Amino acid sequence: MRVATWNVNSLNARLERVLEWLAANGPDVLLVQETKLRDEAFPSSAFADLGYEGAHVGQGQWNGVAVVSRVGLDEVVRGLSDGEARLVGATCGGLRVYSCYVPNGRALDDPHYAYKLAWLEELRGLLAARDRSVPVLIGGDFNVAPADRDVWDPGALEGMTHVSGPERRALEALEATGLVDAVRCVHPDEPCFTWWDYRGGAFHRGWGMRIDLVYLDAALAPRVRAAYVDRDARKGTKPSDHAPVVVELDL
DNA sequence: ATGTCCCAACTTTTGGGA
């Protein structure tokens, strides 16, 4: 089973690249974030042409998440209590998957930061109460770099969101429900950045962060055959500012 | 310190968000 997660920064702007990537890489499940679409505008037929069905939770201008699967799509759940389109769950081929788009936080003294921490805590509650008889995978844009090795220059980010103690502790609390970071199972020390700012030539300078993560049920850790970032997808014409993260599991 | 991209709208330019 191959599962990928990708913040596409507008599925409308990125549709051609996403379809090309799906055809070339053949994931069984793709978790999508920042579709920026209303549900009525979700391009179901374009995915169907490639053999995929999709479950989308959208709100229009901002946010928007989806699960796209070619191995079944059942028991869809939508959102947390905040009413924003930031979480969708589904059961695909015996795996319980979630696509999540964690609030950005904006700045440590911004109300959005408190909202981010509350959102992560509600997500932790959902995961803590999960059905333990079905293996779970949650992937998405967590807008938190778990450790200093996940950013290009920790010193440059002091006092900013994405690296603060409370955000990192919130991720650790998610893991403590019985999850492992799939990429770190295979690549414990490499940076494995997933996001580079569009500005300032950040991609070519190597100024990136690892904020797109895949957490797996700890029981699946021995089943991870590969886990990697498709950095090439950040190159070329009209890229997203995020690259996909791919996890291959022997189920 | 911010050089880009994407969206909406009192739309051909600006403001919000990332």
Q: What's the pLDDT tens digit per position in A37-87? A: 999 999 999 999 999 999 999 999 999 999 999 999 999 999 999 999 999
Containing structural domain, residue A241: 2-249
Q: How confident is the model at residue A34 (pLDDT cuts 50, 70, 90)?
A: very high
The strand B neighbours among A residues 113-152, by Cβ under 7 Å, are none
CATH number reported for the structural domain that contains residue A67 in this entry: 3.60.10.10
Nearest in space to A4 (alpha carbons), one of A21, A146, A15:
A21
Name the average pLDDT for chain A: 98
pLDDT at position A35: 98
Question: What are φ and ψ of residue A171, in 5° steps?
Answer: -65, -40
Distance A223 CA to B7 C1' (A): 40
Checking each nucleotide's C1' against the CA of A141, the nearest proves to be B18
Euclidean distance between CA atoms A84 and A247, whole angstroms: 27
What is the total count of domains within chain A? Answer: 1
A235 touches strand B (CB under 7 A): no
How large is the average pLDDT for residues A181-196?
Answer: 97
Distance A60 CA to B14 C1' (A): 20
How large is the average pLDDT for residues A161-186?
Answer: 98
Q: What's the pLDDT tens digit per position in A104-154? A: 999 999 999 999 999 999 999 999 999 999 999 999 999 999 999 999 999
A178 touches strand B (CB under 7 A): no
Contacts of A46 (CB under 8 A, 6+ apart): A15, A19
pLDDT at position A189: 95
Checking each nucleotide's C1' against the CA of A110, the nearest proves to be B17
Contacts of A249 (CB under 8 A, 6+ apart): A1, A2, A3, A95, A216, A220, A223, A224, A225
DSSP one-letter code for A85: S
Question: What are φ and ψ of residue A228, in 5° steps?
Answer: -155, 165
pLDDT at position A182: 98
